[in-house]
Structure 1
């Protein structure tokens, strides 16, 4: 198997995947923030990992072979950084959504804030269209604002009359997806925002949604503790992952679409095989996990838990972890 800076060769066989992770299940922990980490994400070239925190800052790490090295800390938000999203093809640009009623664009090469866009409410979700032209941001009042990245201005706002949870684009940027409190996935055309269809995906609140990098699947995670895997073209549910026992908060697909990581308040992160639904591996954790992100070309998973600092375990630790490292160290 090729395992270089360029990436890995996908593994086809379930038994091979399991044996690979039997020898690559070590993790390293890094101190990133002074309070809990809400969101982690990789740049498109896989060279940088960003984390956003309740402490209002954004940390940038460089991946050097099998370890993360802190590069910089971005400050400027005056509220919690709740979600971040990198540009799909420019590895230097990062967007962050904050409770301070703004979205910021950061240039990791110049270490500067490239733009600050004022929005109408406390933001909780952000999604950058794969073609790079638009950033969508959702707030606590279920208003979704669309920002033109050429002008850094809000070009359209859509108010929903139900609880909007996570938002996402398909890989061709012409469909916009959102999950809601009624267990549904709403799919709209973009840029016209005409409702195409409503999928009744779960009996409980539909919390998170993720599209796979190959464009075959999307997955939804729900308060019913289930993860559903969907065929993008047929809009048919292919299989359900049911190994977690708590509401599913976060999902991530591996670069080849083969692995789906899902996490919750369970003290494991589940790694499932999208082709069979079988468990490939599980990562033991000490606390609830609210963000996971597979590397864009390697079987490396970044994640952050609601860990507490020892010894009193009263204060939130702002740590992030990297899993999938070779056991030999």
Structure 2
């Protein structure tokens, strides 16, 4: 191994810490420096005498991401097509794109409505939830984009959605604008409708805005993540009940293990038993803030997490142990999705980039910027 010889002059260093640590040639002290030292001693002595009236103020530090975010949040949603030869991405201002994973070609989707609000996973291909122009729900198949669409009523903002009963029904968490009503208070609901006819089956009001929602396939119970707790809507119930009072940002259900994986606002990820509602493990994934994205691999053994940090973490579902941390020096993470074989993890970020990462090696296979 070749070692470079150190120079005699250490006045310029690449590292600030090295510049302080390396001794320099002695220089003659000036009278001004001597006076400054005396002044410093006097000030220090004064504050030592009056220490009882002097206190440091300890303020909390708000978590921050390490990079500047792209305007309007970059890529919000990604979902693989049924054949997995393309990726649907929901971008800025509701615009949706189809990314050809073979050629890298990007085409904007032609939607019948103005804006796409959300995309959800489905084994027959993704479902696009978009803004409608009537006061009722509509379900249609868009021939131009070859994509099923659910159009929501006017003045309705969709915050989360999931499928129920093997795709026969869809649960949509909404915020309805009531600016024209006397009390001016928004209404938060979970609407359950048929994916075949679009008929609204039931509406359940929720006291808080819902950030994410998941369905237990065994009991058909819906679990809603809010800043003020985890709420459950049991099958056949017309009201919600709180089952956990912590702040929840995202939820994912691992049916085979009877676990609810939760992402919290404080950067923690926890596994909760759906039978006892006890924590089986808690892992501090990020120190930068909320866990916005959770997705389980096809085997049900790995959970991928991402959020306000640039790091994507793969955790063991049964223990919460960190398997792999992917730091691609990008921006915050908005969404995650696995390929059907579990080999690739697609990551959507706030800087409008989408990457495909090999889960085993952590290497980036593809990177596309919208």
Q: TM-score, length-normalised on structure 1?
A: 0.72
* 3-state SS, counterpart of residue 321 of structure 1: strand
* 3-state SS, counterpart of residue 196 of structure 2: coil
* CA positional deviation for 1:68: 6.1
2:188 equivalent in structure 1: 142
For the pair 1:76 / 2:109, whether they are aligned, the reply is no
When the two chains are superposed, the root-mean-square deviation of aligned CA atoms in Å is 3.2
* CA positional deviation for 1:63: 5.0
Q: Which has the higher strand share?
A: 1
* 3-state SS, counterpart of residue 166 of structure 2: coil
Contact residue 130 and residue 173 of structure 1 kept, 8 A: no
Answer with 1 or 2: which has the greater Rg: 2
Decide whether aligned partners of structure 1 residues 110 and 208 sit closer, same or farther in structure 2, where only a CA change above 3 A counts: same
* CA positional deviation for 1:172: 3.5
Contact residue 94 and residue 105 of structure 1 kept, 8 A: no
2:242 equivalent in structure 1: 198
| Structure 1 unaligned regions, length at least 5 | 1-33, 308-317
Q: How does 1:74-113 map to 2 (within 5 A)?
A: 74-79=110-115, 81-87=116-122, 89-91=123-125, 94-98=127-131, 107=141, 111-112=145-146
2:158 counterpart (123, 134, 138)? 123
* CA positional deviation for 1:86: 3.1
Decide whether aligned partners of structure 1 residues 116 and 281 sit closer, same or farther in structure 2, where only a CA change above 3 A counts: closer
CA distance in 2, matches of 1:215, 1:174: 16
CA distance in 2, matches of 1:187, 1:235: 11
* CA positional deviation for 1:152: 1.1
**1:126-163 residue CA offsets vs partner (Å, 9 max, x unmatched):** 21225111111122342221121121122222222223
Decide whether aligned partners of structure 1 residues 266 and 113 sit closer, same or farther in structure 2, where only a CA change above 3 A counts: closer
**1:216-248 residue CA offsets vs partner (Å, 9 max, x unmatched):** 322111112111112333433211120201111
CA distance in 1, matches of 2:131, 2:338: 23
CA distance in 2, matches of 1:240, 1:299: 26
Decide whether aligned partners of structure 1 residues 280 and 98 sit closer, same or farther in structure 2, where only a CA change above 3 A counts: farther
- Give the length in aligned residue pairs: 277
Q: How does 1:211-250 map to 2 (within 5 A)?
A: 211-212=253-254, 214=256, 216-245=258-287, 246-250=289-293
**1:45-74 residue CA offsets vs partner (Å, 9 max, x unmatched):** 65553222224232334555xx86657724
2:201 equivalent in structure 1: 155
Q: Which has the higher helix share?
A: 2
Relative contact order higher in (CA < 8 Å, ≥ 6 apart): 1
CA distance in 2, matches of 1:289, 1:143: 26
Q: TM-score, length-normalised on structure 2?
A: 0.65
1:37 equivalent in structure 2: 75
* 3-state SS, counterpart of residue 131 of structure 1: helix
For the pair 1:295 / 2:295, whether they are aligned, the reply is no
